[in-house]
Amino acid sequence: MDKNLVVGAGFSGAVIANLIAEKLGEKVLVIDKKEHIAGNSYDYTDENGIKIHKYGSHIFHTNSEKVWSYFKKFGDLNTYMHRVIAVIDGIETTIPFNLNTLYDVFPETLAKRLEEKLLKSFEYNKKVPILEFQKQADADLKFLAQYVYEKVFLHYTNKQWGTSPEDVDGAVTARVPVYISCDDRYFQDKYQGIPTCGYTRVVEKMLKHPNIEVKLNTDYKVVKGDFKRIFYTGSIDEFFDYKFGMLPYRSVNFKLELHNHPYYQSNAVVNYPCNYDFTRIHEYKYYLNDISEKTVIAKEYSEAFELGKNERYYPIPKDENIELYNKYLEEAKKLENVYFLGRLGDYKYYNMDQAIGRAIELFEEVCQ
């Protein structure tokens, strides 16, 4: 009985399976209920030669040397650095709201005055979460804070989470801070890029090992047999048959459109905080500079997760949800040789590098 079971073939499952197969030389069965590997990071090349990120734009970024060197073993990355354009009152500007943004949206004299006041009040390069940025005494900065809150965060957050910025965990909106800097990139991590072979291929290489067997279209519920260890990257409440109630998630609906001209918009991602019902539009050909006379975009609509209707995308970090998750975690601790990980298993808003880092750490903790 030296076989391991890994439930889920996203990054969390693929990394732990790869390490067990490679470093321990043990057998691993990896199952996924979807018809493909790579979980939410899945991408594919369409008939126009455009690499589509099926579940929305995925940009790899990390400050972790360990995660970066591990990831690179499975594929080269380009030097793409992500920028996000937001349309504010019809004007295209970059977010996070930064010093350049001031000059895009305000008359020059006002922008200059605000910039000077910001530089007096905050250290250069400081990232200020919007909920903290609102605590301003100066009248001009108060005006600016209200402007950013209303034009960037309020409506977008309502669309994305179905609630106002005050009612989502501060860490969520802090992902896109007000940035006292001229750096207009979305991420400041040392390492960033898109794997030139695509994410699916990276995961495929992680799983390509004589000790690993992959079964798709296979739900955990139908798997029989004894396993030395089980690593579960599905939703922890589902594992326990929702005995304490269901963990809430947000889901997303991506509406793809094919356009018969080379480009649709000026950037890979354009956010529409205040307009329309979708939050953002992705145009995929930018990531790997795919050459095509056509282009594919996806409009992203956020909605509540409903079992049987749509998929789980985002855990909702909120006190009452964490409390519920902790009840499941206590149950999990009672089990022998069953481990939970990943965005769904840990109920944490992980980026890919964090999911990979967590899988590596769990392997080191449990298997070494």
Contacts with ligand UDP by CB under 6 A lie at 86, 95, 152-153, 156-157, 160, 172-173, 175-176, 271, 273
**Pair of tokens at residue 25:** 């030389």
Q: Which does 175 bind (CB under 5 to 8 A by kind): ligand FAD, ligand UDP, none?
A: ligand UDP
Beta strand 51-53 pairing with 3-7: unpaired
Task: Select the binding partner of residue 271 from ligand UDP, ligand FAD, none (C-beta < 5 to 8 A, by kind).
Answer: ligand UDP
Strands 249-259 and 295-304: antiparallel
In the complex, minimum distance from the CB of residue 62 to ligand FAD, in angstroms, rounded to a whole number:
8
193 near ligand FAD (CB under 6 A)? no
Nearest CB to ligand FAD, comparing residues 134 and 235 = 235
Query: What contacts 267, CB < 8 A, 6 or more positions away?
Result: 83, 84, 85, 283, 286
| Token pair 């073993």 in the structure block, residue | 73
- Select the binding partner of residue 298 from ligand FAD, ligand UDP, none (C-beta < 5 to 8 A, by kind): none
Which residue number places its CB atom closest to ligand UDP?
156
Angle between helices 65-72 and 352-367 (to 10 degrees): 90
**What x/- string results for residues 24 through 43 when contact with ligand FAD is judged by CB under 6 A?**
-------xxxx----xxx--
Q: Which is nearer to ligand FAD, 33 or 113 (CB)?
A: 33
Nearer to ligand UDP, 214 or 281 (CB): 281
Please, what is the minimum distance in Å from the beta carbon of residue 15 to ligand FAD? 8
Among residues 133 and 345, whose Cβ is nearest to ligand FAD? 345
Instruction: Give the side-chain half-sphere CA count within 13 A for 74.
Output: 24
Listed residue (37, 44, 2, 7) closest to 21, CA to CA: 2
How do beta strands 60-62 and 191-193 pair?
A: antiparallel
Burial of 316 (0-12, 13-18, 19+ CB in 10 A): buried
User: Rounded to the nearest whole angstrom, what is the least distance from the CB of residue 22 to ligand UDP in the complex?
Assistant: 30
Measured in whole angstroms, the distance separating CA 268 from the mean position of its chain's CA atoms is 16
Closest CB to ligand FAD among 9 and 88? 9
End-to-end CA gap in the chain: 18
Residue ranges binding ligand FAD (CB under 6 A): 7-13, 31-34, 39-41, 55-60, 219-220, 233-234, 252, 313-314, 342-344, 350-353, 355
